[in-house]
Amino acid sequence: MENRRAFLAGVGLAASGALAGCLGLGGGRSETDLDAHPAAAGATDEPRLGPPLEEARAVIVAFEDPSCTTCRRFETTTFPRIESDLVGSGEVAFVYRLLPIVFPWGEPAAQALEATYDRSAEAFWALKAHYYAEQDAFGSDTVLDRTGAFLARETDVDAAGVVADAREERFDDRVREDVRAAEEAGASATPTFYLFREGEFLTRAVGAKDYAVFERALGG
């Protein structure tokens, strides 16, 4: 579970309000509904594995940072089983959202992920996995060059175009949308997961949780 002091300072008040909303204490429609919960704001346009959100029996909304070592532990131990067993059942959707708050290279990596997703969902998931698998090789001065080399070698997307877009922050609005959703939902560390079942919010989990946590909440 990782965060940055500056991020926490900026979201303190927003987080407390968002947690009240998660409990359904605000006026109007309860934010326990998937389509009203701040973590899921705009989620239909986010990278997703599994069925459309409106068709899924259960939904996991994950806020992660490519530079986060705790996220790497989740991605290399728990995520493969979520993908094969829960998502593979055809009933659970996994939504990946960016919260680059750990090391500085996470921000350009987030920009590159958004630029890649704009071109190819398949290439996006490949690049996301590459960041975690080779996390120790990345730094602020190398991340975009290494990103371009990987995309050129392993995918069919325009690698040079992705790198150029990342440098120019062409898709920064999408990164900021994810960060804003995290703030409003009360997420202040990575990874943070919001679990929904039958369209209703169940719980929030923080850190590299075991597969059993997700299976107990969402399976069967």
pLDDT digits 0-9 by tens, 56-70? 999 999 999 999 999
- Higher pLDDT among residues 80 and 31, named by residue: 80
pLDDT at 15 over 50: no
pLDDT at position 16, please? 35
88: domain CATH number?
A: 3.40.30.10
**Residue 165 pLDDT grade (very low, low, confident, very high; cuts 50, 70, 90):** very high
The secondary structure of the chain as a DSSP string is -B--HHHHHHHHHHHHHHHHHHTT-SSSS-TTBGGG-GGGTTGGGS-EESS-TTT-SEEEEEEE-TT-HHHHHIIIIIHHHIIIIIGGGTSEEEEEEE---SSTTHHHHHHHHHHHHTT-HHHHHHHHHHHHHTGGG--TTTHHHHHHHHHHHH-SS-HHHHHHHHHHTTTHHHHHHHHHHHHHHT--SBSEEEEEETTEEEEEEESS--HHHHHHHH--
Structural domain total, the chain: 1
Q: Is the overall model pTM greater than 0.75, yes or no?
A: yes
Which domain range does residue 69 map to?
5-218
